[in-house]
Structure 1
Amino acid sequence: MFPPVDQTRRRFLSAAAGGAAALSLSPSRAAAPAVDPIYAAIERHKAAAVVWDAAVDVWAKLPDGPEPMSTERWIERERINDASRDAMDDAGVDLINTSPTTLAGIARALNYIREQMLQDDGVYMPSSLRLADDTDGEYPVAWIDAFLDAIEQAASELDRAGKAVQA
């Protein structure tokens, strides 16, 4: 009633279908470049700057006037400032510690930091970094030093991987 099933043919067709599916998926995945993490770090930093600017606007509207500010108002003003500044500093630390993984990422990071320095006088960058030291615990460092270290490390990694263009 039912003809015998050719197991060899069935295996071949299954393997062929699986191979075709793998071929249709593999090129698109292989061709897609890895996303450089510096772009996300820059976007997080920009978002934190917007929040901090809004908090500063609210903070500035709380009257300082001739009468002393109430304790409750003073506490609220400082809470707004501290919360938004902490988030801003966290995003800044994340930014300067994120090593770009592409030459385009290095260029974008350098341009973004230049914007921070020239247009905004570095106000959105972390203000009091302390890095671990092998001798006495911690030492202060400017955020630009930490950022340049990350860029140097990224360039060295690209060079070692043979991804950098030889001049």
Structure 2
Amino acid sequence: MIFIALLGFLAIIFSILYIIVHFIKKIKDKQRILSKKIFYTALLGGFSLFIVGVAFADTDELAQINELEKQNQSLSDENDTLKLENKELKSKITDYKNEKEELETKGIEFEKKIESLEEKKKSLEDEKNTLEEKVDELNNKNADLDNKVAKLTETNTNLDE
């Protein structure tokens, strides 16, 4: 439609140039008459084409503007939802960071407990080993004493006979 408006504009310019040329030639030839068919047809046709072209160009542009406004509205709605989602995700991130820090402190506490329990386990194993050695010594002593008792009972039975 802009093409029609451009044709109208060119027809108006043609009619203006036609009248200027006519007046320039009329200065030399006083009897010269303006061709009203050419002038008024070009002028009125140009105005009508220009008006029609501009009117339809406005409706085309208005339709484009409406379409762009709809797209803009949908994009702004999508932007708002994405902003809300972004805020939610940021709050989740901070929650997860806090939870991570809590778990790290609990992990450190558990590692300390594990170390202390391993030390207790080691000390209990050492104590167990020493007690087993003492049990072995006492078993050996017990066996020696049993041997002595057996020898003494044998010698005692030999003496009684």
Scaled by the length of structure 1, what TM-score is found? 0.30
Instruction: Point out the structure with max Rg over C-alpha.
Output: 2
TM-score (norm 2): 0.31
- Which structure's residues are more often strand, by fraction? 1
